[in-house]
Copies of this chain bind each other. A is one copy, B any other.
Amino acid sequence: MKVFIVHAHPERRSLNGALTDIAVETLSGAGHEVRVSDLYAMRWKSTVDAADFGPVASDPLDVVRDSGRAHESGALAADVRAEQEKLRWADTVILQFPLWWYTMPAILKGWVDRVFTHGFGYGVGEHSDTRYGDRFGEGALQGRRAMLSLTVGGPESHYSDRGINGPIDDLLYPIQHGVLYHPGMAVLPPFVLYRAGRLSAEAFADAAGRWRERLLSLEETEPVPYRAQNAGDYEIPAVRLRAGLEAPGRSGFGLHIAG
């Protein structure tokens, strides 16, 4: 495999840092190629602005149009182009981060906002009354697999079916489905480590073992069966799931998982 890890934590000597180290060692040791973007170490710029689009930035700025023009003409900022190149190089993408306020830290959101430009992350393919883009199963990153690895401060019960934060799968849907599946990547089930601030040495050793197992079985892991947008399950251009297709008991985000 060619594995690209995007690491987003301000302290390298943290649990997230340890999980990234384990991933690099385990995957390299198994003969895979690994590249890491350590966003804090890179001093990653988090905010989309006119500087991202170089000479094609318009005035007033039009983020969608300008990002597409900059992508098409090669005018995107060098740091953004470098990340797009790593995504194209990879067959497997891992995002490693702490869950802050129920989603990614800002630095990682800024990696998504800046790297997933129009024409790359979205706005790919025909948009008409009969087709709404190559997305959700198709797109520039089709053929790749992606996976979240995250640490969570609270206990698992708070993120369970009746937990006050909502089910973890629902909290991660906007990232897994909205960011990763949108440009065509297949999404593997996440690796989630709860009570991250209070891990005993034994609990860490156990977690590290489970993480290594996940890493060494990435190639055989079945993706979450999200429904492809353009395979007949959806009304186009409303992009609503056709009546009667839902699995029993599924609603909300869960409608978009088959079977």
Contacting pair B163 A239 (CB below 8 A): yes
Tell me which of A10-18, A23-31, A217-225 binds B: A10-18
Tell me which residues across on chain B come within 8 A of A89, comparing CB atoms: none
> Roughly how many angstroms separate A102 CA and B233 CA in the complex, as a whole number?
22
With A11-B63, A164-B229, A256-B164 known as contacts, the answer to whether A113 contacts B105 (CB < 8 A) is yes
Which of B49, B239, B254 makes the CB contact (< 8 A) with A164? B239
Contacting pair A173 B166 (CB below 8 A): yes
We find that the number of chain A residues with CB closer than 8 angstroms to chain B is: 62
CB under 8 Å from chain B, chain A span 164-196: 164-167, 170-171, 173-174, 177-179
A-B contact pairs, 26 of them (CB 8 A): A10-B49, A10-B61, A13-B60, A14-B61, A47-B105, A47-B106, A64-B153, A64-B197, A100-B113, A101-B116, A101-B179, A103-B103, A103-B174, A105-B113, A107-B110, A109-B109, A155-B238, A163-B239, A164-B239, A164-B240, A165-B178, A166-B173, A166-B174, A170-B173, A170-B252, A171-B174
Q: Which residues of A contact B (CB under 8 A)?
A: 10-11, 13-14, 40, 46-50, 60-64, 98, 100-107, 109-110, 112-113, 116, 136, 153, 155, 157-158, 160, 162-167, 170-171, 173-174, 177-179, 197, 229, 234, 237-241, 251-256
